[in-house]
């Protein structure tokens, strides 16, 4: 069997339908094979970082694999940041890179795109993937491909396969005996962890469940909903896990962000005597720079195949096994009285009145967005990093995709294309002017792939999230772009918005458009969301207090 046939069959059988990439000379043979194969939709973008973000968006919305195909050196190394984001946030990408052939490696001439050695790119990718290999031995290629795909699916992290250009059409050995990747499960440890969790929950008077991103990655949403209903306790989400638990569920109390959370939500979480944290690492952003407000003695943490309870660590206890055993436990308690959800999960400022024709502020923008989302619940939100990310906590979104932990900029526009191409669902995109200037031009590909995202651009003429830390800084200013006009030039429709009424009208018009739309919302410098303002204040006290 040919290498490319074996690879494509494995990807197709795992549900892959798109390959995101940019051709280059080291990968032309692989593109020839992809085109001749005919099964996969080839999504070509303009710059490799966007390729990575688009594949990541596809992986996140489908809970499946996102596949990239790029050239050696200038292409592969250009994608390191998106792959690092996917690794940090547990998103399963398969990176296919071209590479020099065997004769080229034996020649005494340096090859273009080579860095220190032919293996430089492989060594770099080992730092941001769970598995990385060069497919240069016909006897081992099949096993390496199988292992890479199984690792990506089971561990939910990126993998890297470098294919020398003289290997694409090579015959390979396909063993009849297949060795599958088996991740260790310590069933005794799972049982013991469940017993301790159940006992702690039974003793607790004010237990709370916090749902993290691994619940989505490992497709445990329905099981965790059943667990919450069995326990009859309040449920919050982490920042990265926002949208994993249904926001309209009667037990959902909001996204916990520590000191910047609405007081009723913060009180419910921080005064809990037992916090079950499923699928989320404690990080500076994940719980709102406020992990110290959650007493270690009250935390039961299940993440990354381990469970931590006080001084106990139960290893090889994957989340799917843990949740299944919890649901099966006859001693799982059901707490009386219900969660007593706070009247509003939103920042109090959003409840202040506004007039339709006053200069628009961030709180007005969020209020109008929530009006729109009330009638368009099916729109997943894709957010970039910036104030738009923090502001999004105050949106009533049922599904949410963002780099909320790794916090790279330039994610949203290409990720939104990946989301719609892979799922057929139209996204609502939140992005700042600074992040748009990094990768926003990729939206010019939207007409080619029949994508019509609704883009709401927070335009304050600078990197406002960074400016919030040091308000007198001059280094955060951005160059003014005619964003709405660019949208028209790229085949979409653009709107310039300065008042709440104009935003309301623009969103209504956008919802009727078959084209992509870009709504350029002019905001005043220094006007930031309540969540960002509180986050910056807490972060500065913790990091810059000296």
Domains in the chain: how many in total? 3
141 located within any domain: yes
- The answer to whether the beta carbons of residues 55 and 104 sit under 8 Å apart is no
Residue 23 shares a structural domain with residue 147: yes
Task: Please tell me the number of Cα atoms within 13 Å of 377 on its side-chain side.
Answer: 5
The pTM is what?
0.94
How far apart CA 152 and CA 65 sit, in angstroms, is: 8
- Residue 471 has phi, psi (to 5 degrees) of -60, -20
- Separation in Å, CA 146 to CA 39, 115, 218, 247, 319: 19, 29, 20, 38, 24
Residue 273 shares a structural domain with residue 401: no
343 located within any domain: no
Residue 134 shares a structural domain with residue 213: no
Q: Which CATH number do you get for residue 33?
A: 3.40.50.970
- In order, the DSSP letters of 457-472 are EEE-SB-HHHHTTSTT
172 located within any domain: no
Per-residue pLDDT of the chain (546 residues; tens, 9 = 90+): 999 999 999 999 999 999 999 999 999 999 999 999 999 999 999 999 999 999 999 999 999 999 999 999 999 999 999 999 999 999 999 999 999 988 777 777 778 788 788 889 999 999 999 999 999 999 999 999 999 999 999 999 999 999 999 999 999 999 987 788 889 999 999 999 999 999 999 999 999 999 999 999 999 999 999 999 999 999 999 999 999 999 889 999 999 988 888 888 889 999 999 999 999 877 877 665 555 567 677 899 999 899 999 989 999 999 999 999 999 999 999 998 765 555 467 777 777 788 999 999 999 999 999 999 999 999 999 999 999 999 999 998 889 999 999 999 999 999 999 999 999 999 999 999 999 999 999 999 999 999 999 999 999 998 888 888 888 888 988 999 999 999 999 999 999 999 999 999 999 999 999 999 999 999 999 999 988 888 888 877 777 665
Domain boundary among 130, 164, 198: 164
Domain that holds residue 491: 348-543
Residue 431's DSSP bridge partners are 457
201 located within any domain: yes
Residue 445 shares a structural domain with residue 314: no
173 located within any domain: no
Residue 11 shares a structural domain with residue 158: yes
- In sequence order, which residues have a C-beta less than 8 Å from that of residue 230 and are 6 or more positions away? 327, 332, 334
Residue 7 shares a structural domain with residue 89: yes
- In order, the DSSP letters of 253-276 are EEE--GGGS-HHHHHHHHT-SEEE
How far apart CA 115 and CA 481 sit, in angstroms, is: 36
Domain boundary among 300, 328, 356: 328
Domain boundary among 261, 293, 328: 328
Q: Which CATH number do you get for residue 306?
A: 3.40.50.1220
Residue 312 shares a structural domain with residue 353: no
């Amino acid at each position: 069997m040919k290498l490319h046939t074996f690879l494509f069959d494995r990807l197709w059988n795992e549900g892959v339908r798109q390959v995101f990439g940019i051709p280059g000379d080291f990968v032309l043979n692989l593109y020839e094979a992809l085109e001749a194969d005919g099964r996969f939709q080839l999504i070509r973008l303009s710059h490799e970082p966007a390729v990575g973000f688009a594949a990541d968006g596809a992986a996140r919305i489908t809970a499946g694999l996102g596949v990239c195909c790029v050239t050696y050196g200038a292409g592969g190394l250009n994608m390191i940041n998106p792959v690092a984001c996917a690794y940090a946030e547990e998103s399963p990408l398969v990176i296919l890179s071209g590479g020099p052939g065997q004769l080229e490696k034996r020649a005494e001439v340096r090859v273009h795109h080579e860095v220190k050695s032919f293996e430089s790119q492989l060594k770099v990718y080992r730092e941001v993937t769970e598995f990385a290999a060069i497919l240069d031995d016909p006897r081992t290629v099949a096993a390496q491909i199988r292992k890479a795909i199984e690792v990506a699916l089971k561990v939910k992290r990126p993998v890297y396969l470098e294919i020398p250009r003289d290997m694409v059409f090579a015959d390979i050995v396909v063993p009849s005996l297949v060795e599958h990747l088996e991740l260790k499960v310590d069933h005794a440890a799972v049982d013991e962890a469940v017993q301790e969790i159940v006992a702690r929950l039974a003793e607790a008077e004010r237990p709370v469940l916090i749902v993290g991103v691994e619940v989505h990655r490992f497709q445990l949403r329905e099981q965790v909903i059943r667990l919450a209903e069995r326990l009859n306790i309040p449920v919050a989400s982490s920042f990265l896990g926002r949208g994993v638990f249904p926001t309209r569920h009667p037990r959902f109390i909001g996204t916990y962000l520590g000191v910047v959370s609405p007081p009723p939500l913060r009180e419910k979480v921080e005064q809990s005597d037992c916090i079950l944290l499923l699928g989320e690492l404690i990080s500076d952003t994940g719980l709102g720079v406020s992990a110290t407000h959650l007493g270690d003695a009250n935390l039961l943490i299940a993440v990354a195949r381990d469970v931590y309870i006080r001084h106990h660590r139960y290893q090889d206890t994957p989340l799917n096994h843990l949740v299944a055993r919890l649901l099966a436990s006859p001693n799982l308690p059901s707490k009386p009285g219900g969660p007593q959800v706070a009247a509003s999960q939103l920042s109090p400022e959003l409840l202040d009145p506004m007039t339709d024709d006053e200069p628009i502020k961030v709180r007005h923008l969020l209020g109008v967005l929530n009006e729109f989302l009330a009638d368009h619940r099916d729109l997943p939100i894709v957010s970039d990093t910036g104030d738009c990310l923090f502001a999004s906590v105050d949106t009533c979104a049922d599904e949410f995709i963002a780099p909320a932990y790794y916090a790279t900029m330039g994610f949203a526009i290409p990720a939104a294309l990946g989301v719609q191409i892979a799922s057929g669902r139209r996204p609502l995109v939140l992005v700042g002017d600074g992040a748009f200037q990094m990768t926003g031009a990729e939206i010019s590909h939207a007409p080619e792939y029949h994508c019509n995202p609704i883009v709401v651009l927070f335009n304050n003429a600078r990197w406002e999230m960074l400016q919030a830390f040091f308000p007198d800084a001059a280094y955060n200013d951005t160059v003014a772009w005619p964003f709405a006009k660019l949208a028209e030039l790229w085949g979409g429709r653009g709107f310039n918005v300065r008042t709440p009424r104009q935003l309301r009208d623009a969103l209504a018009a956008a919802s009727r458009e078959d084209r992509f739309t870009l709504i350029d919302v002019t905001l005043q410098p220094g006007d930031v969301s309540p969540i960002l303002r509180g986050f910056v204040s807490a972060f500065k006290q913790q990091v810059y207090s000296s």
